[in-house]
Amino acid sequence: MDITDGAALQELFSKVGARAPRWARRRCAGAGRQELGREESAEEMLWAANVPPGHGGDTGLAGEAGDGFVPAAPANTELFVPRQHHFSAVMHFAGLKAVGESVQQPLEYYRVNLTGTIRLLEAMKAHGVRNLVFSSSATVYGDPKYLPLDEKHPAGGCTNPYGKSKYFIEEMIRDLCKAEKDWNAVLLRYFNPIGAHESGLIGEDPQGIPNNLMPYVAQVAVGRREFLSVFGNDYKTDDGTGVRDYIHVVDLAKGHIAALKKLKENCGCKIYNLGTGTGYSVLQMVQAMERASGREVRCDLRLQRQGHKPSVPWQPLALLPRLRALHRALALLSLQIRYTITARREGDVASCYADPTLAERELGWKAAFGLDKMCEDLWRWQLQNPSGFSKN
């Protein structure tokens, strides 16, 4: 959906009901329901999004039009099925989210993230929906003044336009809740979601070159990319690489269910960190993927982005149909996780990890999965989907 299009949002609220889907229970029978539990999955959802080109392969998991998933671009309004409707709450995930890209395209980030949120809030207001869970980010804290980061840490000193856009949206929502007392909002400051569903059916499939660390590492480990570029090894951390708080995506999903329950208390505007409270460096993450995948990690300072030949050349015998699978299996066994060190990426900070105490105390939520589990689940998904959803 182009969430900057106010007319399209009004159309969505007018014509599509929240009690449509069964995808979380039927399409993902072994996934969402088992993971969130019977009580939590009792909430019925409508997922409205523009599926990026090339993501058609995952529609069987996420649902189809009229089955909880709505391709809600203005051109697709004919897919909206009129029905008795009532939205009790909105979870707002829509927007652009790459730190490096935001530095290069600041106006696009402000246009989509800020204007889109204003249009969404206007549509919610017009249709009497006053409960919101917002997908914010730990980037709103900027360069930390102390660690771990709690919700009292000053926000707004952001180092990139992406983080600034999240902070501005938080301020919009806070002001709205202050001005209109019937609004309730939970602002969730994510740290770094990674992993996949343990079934291997649902995972992260970025288009083009991944902007996030772990999908990139997984693609190197599976042979889809040549090597990983580590942005900077001169930070004031134990090994010189950036430190982040990584959280399993399933733990993150459960945090949203807890936030929905909080809205029922007429909570006003609340802010919570969603993280584990432990920071890991880039190199520690690469080593964790080494354990999960069995791929040897090797640093090669000679690697260059341009003109580098593949490490696993395609042998003539692979052209023979009966030997192709064997060749691929042998090639996978010889793969390594190779990385090289490059310059720091503009907008990054040295260290960032959470104090999640408030979420545990007020939401009853705490991350359950550790680093090795995150990497094992990510690797399972990557092995089952070596070329992503669209080429399986």
Name the nearest CA neighbour of 39 among 196, 198, 260: 260
Q: How far is CA 198 from the centre of its chain?
A: 16
Cis previous bond, 148, omega within 30 = yes
> Which DSSP helix (H) or strand (E) runs through 361?
helix 357-363
Q: Which residues contact 64 (CB under 8 A, 6 or more apart)?
A: none
- Angstrom CA distances, 256 to 49, 131, 181, 190, stand at 18, 13, 22, 11
Q: How far is the first Cα of the chain from the last one, in angstroms, to the nearest whole number?
A: 26
Tell me the three state secondary structure of residue 313: coil
Tell me the three state secondary structure of residue 204: coil
> Which DSSP helix (H) or strand (E) runs through 351?
strand 351-352
**Catalytic (active site) residue 246:** no
Name the nearest CA neighbour of 265 among 385, 341, 364, 347: 364
The single residue of 109, 141, 162, 339 carrying the catalytic annotation is: 162
Query: How many residues make up the chain in this entry?
Result: 392
> Which DSSP helix (H) or strand (E) runs through 104?
helix 99-104
The β-bridge relationship of strands 246-248 and 47-49 is unpaired
Alpha helices in 196-281 (DSSP H): 213-221, 249-263
Report the sign of the C-alpha dihedral through residues 81, 82, 88, 94, in that order.
positive
What totals of helices (H) and strands (E) does the chain contain, helices first?
A: 13, 14
Dist. CA 7–CA 4, nearest whole Å: 9
Radius of gyration of the chain (CA): 22
Which DSSP category does 149 fall into? Answer: B
Dmax (CA) for the chain in angstroms is 70
Active-site residues, by number, are 162
